Structure 1
């Protein structure tokens, strides 16, 4: 639970500032895909928070469930998702003050079960399913990873082109407030330090800032 403990502390500290309304967890290898104002409006105008939460019947989904989770968490309620999320203030408070699900995950989500892929996703799906968009706003590429890899592709200097960045920004469709949109991802990962220079060169023309 060490990762989830750290995330809860980050949320608790951020909640101390009453002007903070949305809370986004990204990694050190993430980059923004849009300027600050566009990203801010995206969260501000959204009717839901962006937490991916899926019912995975496989080994890495339901296969990690422990019967000790009952009755607080039944197998049918067990969820999996990516660690990178965005929640509004109300959901952030719910995560920080939780005393119902946290003890169960701490005791029964042991090696082989990764709490940061299950805890928030399961808890929020049980408590506030209508508040979740059930998708992430952080783009990753698993196509170049091996079949048993636990990590997505890493992009370096040679990968950064205008075509690549436009594909990441606009290459798919999703639902936003029940409407189709191509603005699905606000961040992307994983980017190596060598990608910094070409990213800075392309940011003004492709990403709209810099």
Structure 2
């Protein structure tokens, strides 16, 4: 180590000069590095002994397993077309209605699909809970997997107990309470449409209740609907007190009296009109504020809105048959004693309508309202009358 001798001059009258020694710091640095390296080497040796001890006592496999369980490689996250075209595997989700409606109305701008798409029909059941006529529908859907989807909107407290082999198993969507004649009923219908729109293969959307039955087999209904140029929703101008008499002047300017329409709530619409219904906020606000009992919003909202937005795309009739001949605010409900061959001859007979701008005698594909007691006679007649 090199030292430097420094001579400090004496003050006046002082003693002899003092010689001091100063150590050069550049020479002290290597010693510090050697000390740090020694400490690092000691830690490495200690870590090596601990690792050998752990492997001998716990095994290499357990150590590797613990490491793998905490490592999630980012490249395992797929980002391909399947993420967009595969329907949700679980219908239950935590989206709010606003989030759901926004997601459901994301529409591709290119008409041609870049994959093989088999059009499906979404059967949407608006129910209180159980499906007493479920066996009829099970028979209807059997053998046609891949051509339909099922969605159920029930009371939030209802816990379905369908077996795993049922077409209704795990087909319940997040639901809320809906009341007849109020906007909550239309909310439930929009909720069904929005959930069904998440499956890109659903091309048509049919609203049904737990009291509905099919009047034909699956193939007849499938081809009738998919070949139609029009969607089906009843929409007519009723000049009486239960039609125009329910109009509120506050609906203008969005809805004028001449545009006010009435119709049954049971509809069959294609994908384009389903998106129109779900995305609407303009007419929704007006109907929510100014169509309350005795204005029954589920009879006016969709018929009026679609008549204004797309009059050329709707047939102005529903495909669901009901019997109003008994009078009252609700159609007739049929019981066990009503279910005979003669009854169905009356249902099928005398039908005259327009289908794809041509006269047709097949005007209804579904019928309601059938009580739970009708299940047994319906099952007995299903092959002979319904073609199931």
TM-score w.r.t. length of structure 2: 0.52
Q: Shift of the alpha carbon at 1:167?
A: 2.5
**Partner SS state of residue 111, structure 1:** coil
Instruction: Tell me the equivalent position of 2:164.
Output: none
Q: Is the 8 A contact 1:156 1:191 kept in 2?
A: yes
Q: Shift of the alpha carbon at 1:144?
A: 2.0
1:194 and 2:194 matched: no
Deviations 1:47-102 (CA, angstroms, capped at 9, x unpaired): 10000000001111001100111100000000000011111000000000011111
Instruction: Tell me the equivalent position of 1:127.
Output: 309
Cα RMSD after superposing both structures = 0.9
Q: Which residue of the other structure, out of 213, 224, 244, is the alignment partner of 1:62?
A: 244
**Alignment of structure 1 residues 29-68 onto 2, 5 Å:** 29-68=211-250
Deviations 1:12-52 (CA, angstroms, capped at 9, x unpaired): 00000001000011111111001111111111000100000
Q: Shift of the alpha carbon at 1:207?
A: 1.0
Structure 2 residues without counterparts, runs of 5 or longer: 1-182
Instruction: Tell me the equivalent position of 1:174.
Output: 353
- Between Structure 1 and Structure 2, how many residues are aligned? 206
Supply the distance in 1 between the matched residues of 2:265 and 2:302 (Cα, whole angstroms). 9
Instruction: Tell me the equivalent position of 2:329.
Output: 150
Q: Which has the larger radius of gyration?
A: 2
**Alignment of structure 1 residues 74-85 onto 2, 5 Å:** 74-85=256-267
Instruction: Tell me the equivalent position of 1:161.
Output: 340
Supply the distance in 1 between the matched residues of 2:334 and 2:295 (Cα, whole angstroms). 28
State the 4+ residue runs in structure 1 displaced beyond 2 angstroms.
Answer: none
Supply the distance in 2 between the matched residues of 1:143 and 1:110 (Cα, whole angstroms). 26
Supply the distance in 2 between the matched residues of 1:102 and 1:78 (Cα, whole angstroms). 14
Supply the distance in 2 between the matched residues of 1:50 and 1:170 (Cα, whole angstroms). 20
Q: Is the 8 A contact 1:170 1:183 kept in 2?
A: no
Q: Which residue of the other structure, out of 47, 62, 71, is the alignment partner of 2:253?
A: 71
**Partner SS state of residue 383, structure 2:** helix
Instruction: Tell me the equivalent position of 1:97.
Output: 279
Supply the distance in 2 between the matched residues of 1:169 and 1:89 (Cα, whole angstroms). 29
Q: Shift of the alpha carbon at 1:164?
A: 1.4
